[in-house]
Amino acid sequence: MPLSMDVLNVKGEKVSSVDLPEAVFGVKGSPALVHEVINAYLANRRRGTHSTKTRGEVSGGGVKPWKQKHTGRARSGSIRSPLWRHGGVTFGPKPRSYYQSVPEAKRRLALKMILTDLVKDGRMKVVDAVSVPEPKTKHVAAMVKKLNAPGRTVMVLDQIEPVFLRAARNMAGLRLCRVENLNSYDALQAEQLIFSKPALDKIVQRLNGDLAPAGPAAGKE
């Protein structure tokens, strides 16, 4: 049996209702699966460009600093030894890829689980349309206040209008996200998730496999 949720306007007033399919918003949770997907997402964000120089790559050190015997000092063959200051680094990091492959079915399922928890906890809202008459932060601030949105709020839209983007970019804690780019990490970090009605329809189609995510980054739920 599908769940029902109120559809609000920008003033926080109920204008209609919408059914939430149980196949997307009524999925049994698995913390292990969500943990796997989130860890893979964070690993795939790493650039892996860290690098240190070994003793063979550090400039200098081609001459033995002193003779082997009869100096009273420890034996040494190079001033670029890892034991010396400014020497090479032993077993230091080198550029590498942290990419972890996660099947698309797992990514979709993890996002379904997170959305299910948001609905159960009352941390998800649906609005009929999102727009402002002019690019002024006060209009978005009034909207957020009427919708009782807390500090970290992610607003998921089907299209982000330039006027609304300019008005919302100074709002602390508010993040705009296109529905194609919504992933498990963003949904998990949000205290409140607000969908526009068209975006809700698209996320249902996407998680049911009827609508493919746009671009490689969007698919990393």
Q: What is the pLDDT of residues 26-45, one digit of tens each?
A: 999 899 999 999 999 999 99
Distance set, CA 35 to CA 31, 62, 98, 189, 221 (Å): 6, 49, 16, 13, 12
Residue count (the chain)? 221
What CATH architecture does domain 3-28+102-218 belong to? 3-Layer(aba) Sandwich (3.40)
pTM as predicted: 0.82
Q: Got the DSSP string for 92-122? A: ------------HHHHHHHHHHHHHHHHHTT
Distance set, CA 149 to CA 47, 106, 132 (Å): 33, 30, 17
* Domain range list for the chain: 3-28+102-218
In this structure, what DSSP letter does residue 210 have? S
pLDDT tens-place string over residues 134-180:
899 999 999 888 998 877 899 999 999 999 999 998 888 899 999 99
Distance set, CA 165 to CA 60, 91, 144, 159, 177 (Å): 54, 47, 14, 10, 10
Beta-carbon neighbour count of residue 12 at 10 Å?
Answer: 14
